[in-house]
């Protein structure tokens, strides 16, 4: 059984910070690329940031310089540190685990956590 559980979402004022966590079980965590996606009402799900098994990172242009993705393989956990939050960051944030193998791609998702940026 694969399980990805997000936590750390909530309500924050513009300019504030949040740290999201995603704890994984049921996978060999260290060999998976991990990512954070978000989806706002009426909009498509978009990639926010990801980090490979080799610790290479990638960010959406809209969050560069404000968000930082990291992983702790000993804890089977990926984090998203979000600083200088803006109202347009409001969305449900989803954790993703992905890898390629002989059988084809594997792709798993968490249940999502709500982030609301508002005064």
* Cβ pair 90, 10 in contact under 8 A: no
pLDDT in tens, 49-90: 999 999 999 999 999 999 999 999 999 999 999 999 999 999
> 19 — phi, psi (to 5°)?
-120, 120
* Per-residue pLDDT, 105: 85
pLDDT confidence bin for 102, thresholds 50/70/90: confident
Per-residue pLDDT at 101 exceeds 90 = no
The Cα–Cα gap between 15 and 55 comes to 28
What's the Cα-to-Cα distance from 27 to each of 7, 12, 16, 66, 67, rounded to whole Å?
Answer: 19, 32, 33, 29, 26
* Per-residue pLDDT, 62: 98
Collapsing DSSP states into helix, strand and coil, what is residue 83? coil
């Amino acid at each position: 059984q694969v399980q990805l559980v997000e936590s750390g979402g909530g309500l924050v004022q513009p300019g504030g910070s949040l740290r999201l966590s995603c704890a994984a079980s049921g996978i060999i965590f260290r060999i998976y690329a991990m990512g954070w996606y978000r989806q706002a009402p009426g909009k498509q799900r978009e990639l926010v940031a990801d980090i490979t098994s080799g610790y290479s990172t990638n960010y959406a242009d809209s969050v560069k310089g404000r968000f930082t993705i990291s992983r702790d393989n000993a804890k089977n956990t990926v984090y998203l540190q979000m600083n200088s939050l803006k109202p347009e960051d409001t969305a449900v944030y989803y954790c993703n685990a992905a890898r390629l193998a002989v059988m084809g791609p594997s792709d798993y998702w968490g249940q999502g956590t709500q982030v609301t940026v508002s005064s």
